Each structure stands twice: as C-alpha cells, then as structure tokens.
Amino acid sequence: MKVSHRDGQNYVFDGQHTIEMIASMSGSRDTPVWCMVYDDLQYQEEAHIFAEQQKHVKALVPFEMFTAHVEAGDNMQMMIHHLVTDVYKLKISGSRAPGTICAVSALEFIYERYGYEVLDRTLRLSLSTWEGEDLSLSASILKTVALLISAFGSNLDEESFRDRVGKYTAKAISRTARDRRPGIYGYAEAMLILYNGKNKKKLSMRKVL
C-alpha cells in the first residue's frame, strides 16, 4: 500500500481495495499491513505516482490511466481533456455512450505522433462528417482521419470529405475497410476511394503507406 502523510493526516492513494480485502478476511480494520509512506506530497504528485506505478503493477484500463494523469496535471492529458470536453463538448469515459469518446489511447496516440493541431482537426472533421454517430469516434476512425490529415495537410479538403465520405456511415466504412487492408490502412483506403470519386485532384494511397 502507498500512503501519503501530509497536513498531519494519512491518505491511502494506492491499495484501498487491498485494505478492504484484508479487513474483510481478518474481521478487523486494525490488522497491520506493510505500507510505503510518502511525506509532504501534493495531491497532484500522488495521482502522478499512482498512474506511473500502475503500469508495472496491474493492467489498468486506459481510461483509469488517463484520469489519473489528468488529476496529476500532466500536460498531454490536460490538453486532450480540454480539447475534447471544453472545445467540442464531448465526454471522455470508459464506457460507450452518445457524445462520448472511449478511445483515450487513440487520442494520446494522435497527440504524441501528430501534435495538438492534428488532433484538433481530426475531432472537428470527424464530428462534422458523421455528427457523432455510432463508431465515428472509435479508435480506428479517429486514427485514420488523423493519418489522412497528417499525410495530405491542406490538400485534404474538409468540405469534399464531408460530402463524399460522410454519405456512408462509419459502420459501413468499417465493413469495407476489413475487406481491403489490415488495420487503419484498410480504413484509409476505404475513405480515400470515397473521397476521390470523380475528383480530378485525387489523393494517392501511397502517401499514407
């Protein structure tokens, strides 16, 4: 267990479930347990230690990791959280629901690989194309849109993308993608075929491979 001693009080910030289990099995909440005690940590420091330590202790789900990093005030997660919740008025959650993004690992991947601006444009284009329909905020769709934005930049016309690709549901694109190539490259090819159509300025799949 990890305990933070601050302001004259002890706060358990890792191991609460273990404590409850020991108390239940022993029949007493006074049962001694081994603890690692940290002195004078700030709340944000406790959250950061918890998030980092859990990588090596158990398989913490991405949403729990993300939330711990937000609590710790870590820059990347704070920027993503602001963009998703404040700018686009969506929620970040561990379970699927309308107006909710569960694919936090995809958000972090896009931010780390392509940067804040690409993540911003990815969310804007995905939302305006599919209007938050089921699967349109999934990891595969978001990562593919980010890949296309990164590869083609301003040559990827957002209005054309909305008009052509948006005629098809994210679910239909997902089915087509599985028949073409593995992973997001299948999604990229499916979207580019729809985008190019009769367009004279066609975008080449070679740029994303």
Pair of tokens at residue 208: 């994303």
pLDDT band, residue 150 (cuts 50/70/90): very high
Q: In the chain, what is the straight-line distance between the N-terminal and C-terminal CA atoms, in Å?
A: 47
Provide the whole-model pTM: 0.72
Length of the chain: 209
Do 174 and 187 touch, CB atoms closer than 8 A? yes
- Read off the pLDDT of residues 47-95 as tens digits, 9 standing for 90 and up: 777 776 666 555 557 888 888 888 878 899 999 999 999 999 999 998 8
Weakest-pLDDT range from 12-26, 54-68, 129-143, 173-187: 12-26
Q: What is the pLDDT of residues 84-141, one digit of tens each?
A: 999 999 999 988 888 999 999 999 999 999 999 999 999 999 999 999 888 899 999 9
- Residue 37, Cβ neighbours under 10 Å: how many? 10
How many angstroms separate the CA atoms of 86 and 70, rounded? 14
Select from 118, 187, 105, 174 the least CA-distant residue to 146: 118
CB within 8 Å of 157: residues ≥ 6 apart: none
Burial environment of residue 7 by CB neighbours within 10 A (0 to 12, 13 to 18, 19 or more): exposed
How many Cβ atoms are within 10 Å of 202's Cβ, its own excluded? 12
Bridge partners (DSSP) of residue 4 are 11, 38
CB 94 within 8 A of CB 102: yes
Q: Is 149:118 a contact under the CB 8 Å cutoff?
A: yes
Which two structure tokens, joined as six digits, stand for 96? 């699927």
Q: Distance between CA atoms of 75 and 156, rounded to whole angstroms?
A: 29
- The residue type of 153 is G
Sign of CA dihedral 158, 164, 168, 174: negative
